[in-house]
Amino acid sequence: MSCSISLTNKSGHDIVHFMNTVSKNSEYRSVLLLDEISRDQHLTQRDLSRRLGLALGLVNSYLKNLASRGYITVSAIPKKRYTYYLTPRGLAEKSRLTYRHLQNFTNLYKAARKDFKGLFEALEHTELRKIVFCGVDETAEIAYLSLMERQLTLSGVIDINIEKEGDFLSFPIMRVEDLPDLEYDVVVITSFSRSSALRAALLEAGVEERRILDISIGDWLKKLS
């Protein structure tokens, strides 16, 4: 793979800022927990841990915090089987946090859309045509919109910790270990919240560093220079 590209990620700091704001902070986790509880009060802590991808101990800590602030009530019927109820105060807080994070996501969308467009436009001026997405969430959908505007090919979609078969649009979601079965030039990480874990999995699978592109960090095309 040889080419010469000089392009700087102008909004990389914005991406990192919104990634921290939207995907990693305690308010975001709180609104996710409140939303899950509002839809199903019979969920166990283990259920919440699995659905949200959070450690069990962390879920327990957040639930205690939400209860202490009057956002949820906890009932133990039968013994050692807890049921969580959203209080009127908790419902109001969920609405407030949801509105705030929708605003943050709008900003995230704008920044990600700009960087993906820049990335794929630059790739279009090279011999690199076959792209694999790594990581499936809302970010991947933004990436797909940008990819469809260029003369590039999405060769496949991979992810880690796949519990069951699923599709991303019309593409089956494959495991990182299945990457050698795909014809590709570069892998684009398409999840902000799991960027580090996905990169580590790709490197462990033997993917060359220079073939991994990630718009959540700066200078994502210098490796192609």
Domains of the chain: 21-103 (1.10.10.10), 110-224 (3.40.50.720)
Give the three-class secondary structure for 167: strand
Name every residue whose Cβ is closer than 8 Å to that of residue 138 and which is 6 or more positions away in sequence: 105
pLDDT(9) > 50: no
Using 50, 70 and 90 to split pLDDT, how confident is the model at 4?
very low
Using 50, 70 and 90 to split pLDDT, how confident is the model at 218?
low
Please answer whether residues 119 and 215 qualify as being in contact, where contact means their C-beta atoms are separated by less than 8 angstroms.
yes
Mean of pLDDT values over 197-203: 93
pLDDT of residue 225: 43
pLDDT(11) > 60: no
Please answer whether residues 107 and 13 qualify as being in contact, where contact means their C-beta atoms are separated by less than 8 angstroms.
no
pLDDT(177) > 60: yes
pLDDT(29) > 70: yes
**Nearest CA-CA partner of 224 in 150, 130, 126:** 126
The pTM assigned to this predicted structure is 0.59
pLDDT(77) > 70: no
**Nearest CA-CA partner of 188 in 112, 125, 127, 116:** 116
Mean of pLDDT values over 195-213: 92
**Nearest CA-CA partner of 115 in 9, 208, 24:** 9
Residue with tokens 């990630």, as numbered in its chain? 214
